[in-house]
């Protein structure tokens, strides 16, 4: 059995030796380069772009503006296509936009022989705008009278609103003796910050078909979007996806592939490269939706819920992209994580004049878990309850069934994960020790659960295809539409294929590149779906191939097929375990058989109609230096029930990566917009404070392996879940350490200074200079630090 | 690709000075960790450059006969940190240089560049100023020595004349003998960052280690240029090694700092941090000097 073992990644050697090919490695050396001109106003209309000077610059091939592009709005979200027009993504942007909707909108392109010429031309362009009022806050933007961002399509800025009603909230809150706990919870705009910026190049052959090689997570979807954006038949576009340097959801969108495909057609099909800078990655790709949530819980004194209400505003930014799906997913977790008989939820996704919100690892759940798990901590603090006991008692119980997704909680995942996490980080002893601290440097420990599910059925189609081609030596090429984006799926797919057929791992050659001309359809890397969904089609296709092999084995060995099996690449007679021939011998004899020559191959599609919960917990231990306003994570553990581990070491690495991103979300990262102009202030890795390795504690990881009954390999989501619960766990640990409940991320020194000042837990230096007034000194005297 | 109009590679100090005179429009580049960023951003696109990179005589740390520490302007941060002379006499400067960026930047960036670009956040600048370092400039007329406090004229403005290059940073024996120091870089993360505020303190204690004979403190990012806070120093002269002295020192520092609010940090936040840094740096400098607390 190859599943369950920690094999080295199948791409490990190529990646560490630098031989793995990425988009830029494949770009023809004679390709033109292109640079995009971005708007310097947040909202308005381009009246005129003067291109005369730019066009004269040596090395400039062509200058194209928003007045040249096809008048054809298109959707960009990396969702599978839906044949029902009511469920299709919103088409609200053009290749270049005359109506600019955020500071940095794409308004013109220079194609040149090199980047120096292109940059000089960009600087030589002059733009005349008609400026409109702009709005940066989604709650303001949702109000009547806010500047209309997509007036062409709608007469307000609310992209979508959805709600959910269970029981009768209004009646339930009348129950006598209830305690109301409410709070606002804010999560910031953050960016994926993958290592390889988005890059693509395109060329046109025979004046007809256009090939785009792109750093994308979703080649088949990008083909469809590119064709739609240009009004072409879908088969005219070919997308090639080589190795990519991370995506985390940003590349689960058609970013610049449609524009690049159009550019090559404007220069006679010559290859054109579009290599996005880090600054553009921050501003002109996608970001995580900032969310502002208000939660009210009506509690009985015994610590049970009477009624709960959630209202959330999600900051969409300028264009729809993944739109309301993100807020809707986050909202969906609310009634499930802590079931209650009376629930009201409402979510609004609202356009603002800011960078566009798209998919990002966790897809609304990191925001939702910060809201939910911070609020739960506020409840237990207000009611003086034990935070772990409360979660054990009130979180989703075993046997819970969701009638929409048909998901069922088969095992007691939350309690099992809590048990392991508590033991691993020595929670009970530390929690007790950190009670009643004084002094400037204090420690705390806190927990948070997370809710997640796997893949997107039944909201969208879930389908995956696989092709296996056998070589004469009995090895196979494994081809799927599911993409390796660094997470290791090529390796786990190889393990699955080997086990299904009866081969050794080294007999499986994964064809890592997706080329929409030859790769069967798969939706791609998102929704933590590929191991679960890909597993179905790999199992089915492997069984088809195995059947064929055994049919030939019957012919060649004269034994009945049902007495035969394939073990480690050998045809074995099960009745006496005798090795009859190798699969290699069989494949050679079958292909070169003068009478019945057959090329052994199999291909199939599996449409998956199930989904699976994937739950877990984080416990974080922090040290807070109050006078220096610094919170440092000393220890952090994530425990996941993601089913059977296909490759334990890869699974652990996946969790490390997710926890690291969450550390950034919790303590460091926030994309800041200048309130006066809408310009993004920190569009670079110096000012955007992605944590470094020096800022990480050892990340502890453990698993509860309850095999998922719906999956042929017992697996379920792990890609996104690790990033969902660390931020609230850190927040809750800071609450224990300092007594200050902070409801706005990130918990960086600026925020801690603000909140500690409000809470009065330190003397501010201003007060050191001018002695505090008697009225305030009484307050200050309660604090024992900083003496 | 970088948009550079012309680069003049100087192989000696004399050649560099000659180029300065011939090409007054050209910028000086040594490690390039600031200049190349400006070119990439378009601000310096199309510029002319005079490169000092090949002038090996400007590299290295040595001790002059009179005990003056001489740091060649092209000495990289990493070389400053690893220098036995620095480690023996002004270890805190090596520690400050080791806080710059990450390993790659510390291998390419130079102490000359760090001081000549005239920014308040430069990690070595506050320590150099706290040690009363002297900047050696060489021009057509010969060498000129400028105390570092006078070398900084304003934000991104330093006292380098049109025919000069900076050739060394000097620290006199009377500035470092008997002193022990501590530098705290306060930033939003532990590496790859620019200081929100930095603070460098050094002290000389009495023989019985119970009294502060001299104390110097310099901040980065407490004003447009690195800032000595004399009120703090005055509050410490001759005072006993005690918590009260530390408090008086911090209060003195806050009289002199003048941070501003920007989107990177508010004035109030910087003041909170700067007061605390004065306390911690003085305390640690005293401990390193073997101070005995009252």
B3, B193, B255: residue with CB nearest A116: B3
- Residue A169 makes CB contacts below 8 A (sequence gap 6+) with A307, A308, A309, A342, A343, A344
Residue B294 lies in a domain: no
The full DSSP string for A558-569 is -S-GGGEEEETT
pLDDT (mean) for B125-137? 98
B196, B263, B265: residue with CB nearest A681: B263
Distance from CA of B222 to the nearest CA of A (A): 14
**Which tokens hold the place of B219?**
């901040």
Q: Examine the domain organization and report whether B73 and B162 are in the same domain.
A: yes
Distance from CA of A692 to the nearest CA of B (A): 7
Q: Which residues of chain A have pLDDT under 70?
A: 763-787
B40, B189, B232, best to mutate vs chain A, most A CBs in 10 Å: B189
Distance from CA of A383 to the nearest CA of B (A): 33
A690, A694, A766: residue with CB nearest B268: A766
Which chain B residue lies closest to A748 (C-alpha atoms)? Answer: B188
Cα–Cα dist B96/A161, whole Å = 53
Question: In chain B, what residues touch A681 (CB-CB under 8 Å)?
Answer: 263
Q: Examine the domain organization and report whether B83 and B155 are in the same domain.
A: yes
DSSP A190: -
Give yes or no for residue B184 having a pLDDT over 50: yes
Which chain B residue lies closest to A670 (C-alpha atoms)? Answer: B264
Question: In chain B, what residues touch A677 (CB-CB under 8 Å)?
Answer: none
**Which tokens hold the place of A204?**
């046109």
Instruction: List residues of chain B with CB under 8 Å from any CB of chain A.
Output: 1-3, 42, 45-46, 102, 186, 188-194, 196, 247, 250-251, 254-255, 263-266, 268-269, 271-276
Please answer yes or no on whether A769 and B255 come within 8 Å at the CB atom. yes
Cα–Cα dist A104/A127, whole Å = 13
Please answer yes or no on whether A769 and B254 come within 8 Å at the CB atom. yes
CA atoms within 13 A on the CB side of B138: 14
Backbone angles phi, psi at A618, to 5 degrees: -120, 140
How much is the pLDDT for A765? 57
Domain boundary among B174, B189, B208: B174
B42, B251, B254: residue with CB nearest A119: B42
B2, B102, B272: residue with CB nearest A753: B272
Question: In chain A, what residues touch B99 (CB-CB under 8 Å)?
Answer: none
* Domains, chain A, ordered by start: 12-132+198-275 (3.90.1170.50), 386-449+612-762 (3.30.365.10), 463-607 (3.30.365.10)
- b/e map of A194-230 (b: 16 or more CB within 10 Å)? bebbbbbbbbbeeeebbbbbbbbbbbbbbbbbbbbbb
The full DSSP string for A587-648 is HHHHHT-TTT----EEEEEEE-----B-EEEEEEEEEEETTTTEEEEEEEEEEEE-BS-SSH
Nearest CA to B135 out of B124, B52, B89 is that of B124
How much is the pLDDT for A436? 85
Neighbour-count burial of A328, counting CB atoms closer than 10 A to its CB (0-12 exposed, 13-18 middle, 19+ buried): buried
* Beta bridge partner(s), residue B169: B71, B135
Please answer yes or no on whether B190 and A694 come within 8 Å at the CB atom. yes
Residue B293 lies in a domain: no
Residue B150 lies in a domain: yes
A628, A689, A769: residue with CB nearest B276: A628
Please answer yes or no on whether A116 and B1 come within 8 Å at the CB atom. yes
* Beta bridge partner(s), residue A623: A443, A632
A672, A748, A765: residue with CB nearest B272: A765
The ipTM, to two decimals, is: 0.96
Q: How many CB pairs under 8 A join A and B?
A: 83
Q: What percent of chain B has pLDDT over 70?
A: 100
DSSP B141: T
Rounded to whole angstroms, what are the CA distances from A697 to A621, A693, B36, B175?
10, 9, 34, 40
Question: In chain B, what residues touch A750 (CB-CB under 8 Å)?
Answer: 265-266, 269
Cα–Cα dist A480/B1, whole Å = 38
pLDDT of A652-678, one tens digit each?
Answer: 999 999 999 999 999 999 999 999 999
DSSP A668: I
Question: In chain A, what residues touch B3 (CB-CB under 8 Å)?
Answer: 116, 119-120
Q: Examine the domain organization and report whether B141 and B70 are in the same domain.
A: yes
Residue B168 belongs to a domain with what CATH number? Answer: 3.30.465.10
Question: In chain B, what residues touch A668 (CB-CB under 8 Å)?
Answer: 188-189
Helix (H, G, I), strand (E, B) or coil at B116: helix
Q: Examine the domain organization and report whether B226 and B207 are in the same domain.
A: yes
**Which tokens hold the place of A656?**
């490390």
Backbone angles phi, psi at A115, to 5 degrees: -70, -30
Instruction: List residues of chain A with CB under 8 Å from any CB of chain B.
Output: 114-116, 119-120, 123, 627-629, 668, 672, 674, 681, 685-687, 689-695, 748-750, 753-754, 757, 762, 764-766, 768-769
pTM of the model: 0.96
Give yes or no for residue B48 having a pLDDT over 80: yes
Rounded to whole angstroms, what are the CA distances from A540 to A501, A605, B4, B247?
10, 8, 59, 74
Which chain B residue lies closest to A117 (C-alpha atoms)? Answer: B3
Q: Examine the domain organization and report whether B142 and B160 are in the same domain.
A: yes
Nearest CA to A110 out of A78, A155, A63 is that of A63
Residue B122 lies in a domain: yes
Backbone angles phi, psi at B58, to 5 degrees: -90, 5
A123, A695, A748: residue with CB nearest B42: A123
pLDDT of B211-243, one tens digit each?
Answer: 999 999 999 999 999 999 999 999 999 999 999
- Residue A246 makes CB contacts below 8 A (sequence gap 6+) with A192, A194, A195, A196, A485, A486
> Considering Cα of A125, then A130, then A133, then A139, what sign does the dihedral take?
negative
Q: Examine the domain organization and report whether B82 and B99 are in the same domain.
A: yes
Give the DSSP H/E element, type plus range, for residue A47. strand A44-50
Number of Cβ within 10 Å of residue B200's Cβ equals 32
- Residue A182 makes CB contacts below 8 A (sequence gap 6+) with A294, A295, A296, A297
Question: In chain B, what residues touch A765 (CB-CB under 8 Å)?
Answer: 250, 254, 271-272, 274-276
Please answer yes or no on whether B275 and A116 come within 8 Å at the CB atom. no
Rounded to whole angstroms, what are the CA distances from A558 to A546, A553, A562, A572?
17, 8, 12, 13
Question: In chain A, what residues touch B45 (CB-CB under 8 Å)?
Answer: 119-120, 123
**Which tokens hold the place of B286?**
């005293």
Q: Examine the domain organization and report whether B116 and B165 are in the same domain.
A: yes
A273, A631, A765, best to mutate vs chain B, most B CBs in 10 Å: A765
Cα–Cα dist B228/B234, whole Å = 11
Helix (H, G, I), strand (E, B) or coil at A391: helix
Please answer yes or no on whether B45 and A120 come within 8 Å at the CB atom. yes
- Residue A291 makes CB contacts below 8 A (sequence gap 6+) with A186, A187, A312, A313, A314, A315, A327, A330, A364, A367, A368, A371
Structural domain range at position B155: 60-174
Which residue reads 């604090």 in tokens?
A783
Q: Examine the domain organization and report whether B37 and B97 are in the same domain.
A: no
Question: In chain B, what residues touch A690 (CB-CB under 8 Å)?
Answer: 189
A628, A629, A672: residue with CB nearest B263: A672
Q: Examine the domain organization and report whether B27 and B69 are in the same domain.
A: no
Please answer yes or no on whether A687 and B1 come within 8 Å at the CB atom. no
Residue B118 lies in a domain: yes
Cα–Cα dist A401/A336, whole Å = 10
Q: What percent of chain A has pLDDT over 90?
A: 96
Cα–Cα dist A323/A634, whole Å = 36
Residue B276 lies in a domain: yes
Nearest CA to A632 out of A730, A727, A756 is that of A730
Please answer yes or no on whether B190 and A695 come within 8 Å at the CB atom. yes
Please answer yes or no on whether A692 and B192 come within 8 Å at the CB atom. yes
Which chain A residue lies closest to B5 (C-alpha atoms)? Answer: A116
Cα–Cα dist A575/A559, whole Å = 11
B190, B254, B255: residue with CB nearest A692: B190
Domain boundary among B51, B72, B89: B51
Cα–Cα dist A751/A749, whole Å = 5
Contact A507, A265 (CB under 8 A): no
Helix (H, G, I), strand (E, B) or coil at A722: helix
> Considering Cα of A332, then A333, then A337, then A343, what sign does the dihedral take?
negative
Q: Examine the domain organization and report whether B13 and B87 are in the same domain.
A: no
Domain boundary among B125, B159, B174: B174
Distance from CA of A280 to the nearest CA of B (A): 13
Residue B226 belongs to a domain with what CATH number? Answer: 3.30.390.50
Question: In chain B, what residues touch A633 (CB-CB under 8 Å)?
Answer: none
Question: In chain B, what residues touch A629 (CB-CB under 8 Å)?
Answer: 269, 272-273
DSSP A398: T
Q: Examine the domain organization and report whether B145 and B214 are in the same domain.
A: no
DSSP A488: -
Residue B37 lies in a domain: yes
Rounded to whole angstroms, what are the CA distances from A782 to A371, A510, A623, A736, A767?
30, 65, 21, 17, 15
Cα–Cα dist B54/B166, whole Å = 15
* Number of domains, chain B: 3
B186, B251, B265: residue with CB nearest A768: B251
Residue B39 belongs to a domain with what CATH number? Answer: 3.30.43
Please answer yes or no on whether A764 and B268 come within 8 Å at the CB atom. yes
Q: Examine the domain organization and report whether B73 and B145 are in the same domain.
A: yes
CA dihedral B47, B50, B53, B58 (to 10 degrees): -140
B100, B106, B192, best to mutate vs chain A, most A CBs in 10 Å: B192
Cα–Cα dist A772/A235, whole Å = 74
Question: In chain B, what residues touch A768 (CB-CB under 8 Å)?
Answer: 247, 250-251, 254, 275
Nearest CA to B285 out of B215, B186, B181, B160 is that of B181
Nearest CA to A447 out of A402, A387, A496, A493 is that of A387
* Strand A630-641 relative to strand A699-703, pairing: parallel
């Amino acid at each position: 059995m190859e599943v369950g073992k920690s094999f080295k990644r199948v791409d490990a050697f190529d990646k560490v030796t630098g031989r793995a090919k990425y988009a830029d490695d494949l770009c023809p050396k004679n390709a033109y380069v292109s640079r995009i001109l971005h708007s310097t106003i947040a909202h308005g209309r381009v009246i005129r772009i003067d291109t005369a000077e730019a066009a004269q610059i040596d090395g400039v091939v062509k200058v194209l503006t928003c007045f040249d592009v096809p008048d054809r709005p298109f959707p960009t979200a990396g969702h599978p296509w839906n044949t029902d027009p009511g469920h299709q993504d919103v088409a609200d942007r053009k290749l270049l936009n005359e109506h600019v909707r955020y500071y940095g909108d794409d308004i013109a392109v220079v194609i040149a022989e090199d980047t120096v010429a292109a940059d000089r031309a960009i600087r030589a362009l002059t733009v005349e705008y008609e400026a409109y009022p702009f709005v940066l806050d989604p709650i303001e933007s949702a109000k009547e009278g806010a500047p209309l961002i997509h007036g062409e399509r709608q007469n307000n800025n609310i992209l979508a609103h959805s709600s959910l009603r269970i029981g009768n909230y209004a009646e339930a809150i009348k129950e006598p003796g209830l305690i109301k706990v409410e709070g606002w919870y804010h999560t910031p705009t953050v960016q994926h910050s993958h290592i390889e910026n988005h890059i693509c190049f395109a060329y046109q052959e025979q004046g007809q078909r256009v090939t785009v090689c792109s750093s994308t997570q979703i080649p088949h979807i990008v083909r469809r979007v590119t064709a739609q954006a240009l009004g072409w038949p879908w088969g005219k576009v070919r997308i090639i996806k080589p190795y990519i340097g991370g995506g985390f959801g940003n590349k689960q969108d058609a970013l610049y592939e449609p524009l690049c495909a159009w550019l090559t057609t404007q220069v006679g099909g010559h290859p054109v490269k579009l290599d996005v800078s880090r600054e553009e990655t921050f501003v002109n790709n996608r970001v995580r939706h900032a969310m502002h949530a208000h939660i009210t819980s009506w509690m009985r004194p015994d610590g049970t819920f009477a009624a709960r209400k959630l209202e959330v505003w999600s900051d969409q930014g300028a264009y729809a992209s993944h739109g309301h799906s993100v807020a809707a997913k986050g909202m969906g977790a609310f009634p499930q994580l802590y079931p209650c008989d009376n629930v009201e939820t409402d979510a609004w996704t609202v356009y603002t004049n800011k960078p566009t919100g798209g998919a990002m690892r966790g897809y609304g759940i990191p925001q939702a878990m910060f809201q939910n798990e911070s609020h739960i901590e506020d409840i237990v603090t207000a009611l003086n309850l034990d935070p772990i006991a409360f979660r054990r008692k009130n979180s989703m119980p075993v046997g819970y069934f969701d009638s929409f997704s048909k998901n069922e909680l088969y095992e007691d995942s939350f309690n099992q994960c809590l048990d392991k996490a508590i033991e691993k980080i020595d929670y009970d002893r530390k929690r007790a020790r950190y009670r009643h601290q004084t002094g400037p440097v204090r420690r705390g420990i806190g927990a948070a659960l997370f809710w997640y599910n796997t893949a997107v059925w039944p909201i969208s189609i879930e389908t995956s295809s696989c092709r296996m081609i056998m070589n004469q030596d009995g090895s196979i090429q494994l081809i799927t539409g599911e993409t390796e984006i660094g997470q290791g799926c090529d390796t786990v797919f190889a393990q699955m294929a080997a086990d299904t057929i009866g081969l050794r791992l080294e007999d499986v050659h994964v064809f890592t590149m997706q080329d929409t001309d030859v790769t069967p359809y798969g939706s791609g890397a998102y929704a933590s779906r590929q191991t679960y969904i890909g597993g179905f089609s790999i199992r089915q296709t492997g069984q088809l191939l195995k059947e064929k092999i055994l049919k030939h084995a019957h012919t060649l060995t004269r034994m009945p097929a049902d007495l035969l099996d394939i073990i480690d690449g050998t045809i074995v007679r099960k009745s006496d375990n005798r090795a009859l021939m190798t699969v290699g011998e069989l494949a050679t004899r079958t292909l070169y058989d003068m009478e019945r020559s057959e090329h052994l191959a199999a291909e199939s599609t599996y449409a998956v109609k199930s989904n699976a919960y994937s739950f877990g917990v984080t416990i974080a231990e922090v040290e807070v230096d109050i006078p220096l306003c610094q919170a440092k994570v000393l220890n952090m553990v994530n425990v996941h029930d993601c089913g059977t581990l296909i490759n334990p070491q890869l699974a652990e690495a996946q969790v490390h990566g997710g926890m690291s991103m969450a550390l950034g979300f919790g303590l460091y990262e926030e994309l800041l917009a200048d309130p006066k102009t809408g310009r993004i202030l920190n569009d670079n890795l110096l000012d955007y404070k992605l944590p470094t390795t020096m800022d990480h504690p050892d990340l502890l990881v453990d698993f509860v392996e309850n095999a998922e009954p719906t999956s042929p390999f017992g697996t379920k989501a792990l890609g996104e879940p690790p990033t969902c619960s660390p931020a609230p766990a850190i927040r809750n640990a800071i609450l224990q350490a300092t007594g200050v409940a902070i409801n706005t991320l990130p918990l960086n020194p600026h925020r801690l200074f603000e909140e500690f000042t409000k809470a009065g837990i330190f003397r501010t230096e201003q007060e050191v200079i001018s002695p505090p007034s008697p009225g305030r000194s009484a307050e200050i005297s309660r604090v024992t630090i900083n003496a | 690709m970088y948009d550079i109009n012309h680069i003049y590679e100087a192989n000696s100090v004399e050649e560099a000075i000659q180029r300065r005179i011939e090409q007054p429009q050209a910028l000086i580049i040594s490690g390039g960790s600031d200049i190349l960023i400006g070119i990439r951003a378009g601000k310096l696109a199309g510029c002319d450059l005079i490169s000092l990179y090949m002038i090996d005589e400007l590299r290295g740390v040595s001790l002059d006969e009179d005990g003056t520490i001489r740091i060649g302007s092209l000495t990289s941060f990493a070389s400053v940190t690893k220098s036995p002379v620095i480690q023996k006499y002004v270890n805190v400067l090596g520690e400050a240089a080791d806080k710059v960026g990450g390993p790659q930047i510390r291998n390419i960036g130079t102490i000359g560049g760090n001081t000549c670009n005239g920014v308040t956040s430069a990690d070595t600048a506050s320590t150099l100023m706290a040690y009363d370092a002297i900047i050696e400039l060489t021009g057509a007329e010969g060498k000129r020595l400028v105390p570092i406090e006078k070398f900084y004229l304003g934000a991104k403005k330093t006292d380098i004349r049109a025919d000069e290059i900076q050739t060394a940073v000097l620290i006199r024996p009377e500035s470092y003998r008997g002193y022990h120091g501590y530098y705290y870089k306060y930033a939003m993360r532990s590496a790859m960052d620019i200081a929100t505020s930095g603070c460098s303190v050094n002290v000389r204690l009495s023989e019985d280690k119970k009294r502060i004979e001299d104390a110097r403190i310099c901040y980065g990012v407490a004003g447009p240029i690195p800032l000595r806070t004399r009120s703090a120093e005055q509050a410490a002269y001759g005072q006993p090694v005690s918590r009260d002295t530390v408090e008086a020192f911090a209060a003195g520092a806050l009289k002199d700092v003048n941070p501003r609010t920007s989107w990177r940090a508010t004035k109030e936040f910087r003041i909170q941090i700067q007061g605390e840094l004065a306390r911690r740096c003085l305390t640690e400098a005293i401990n390193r000097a073997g101070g005995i607390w009252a």
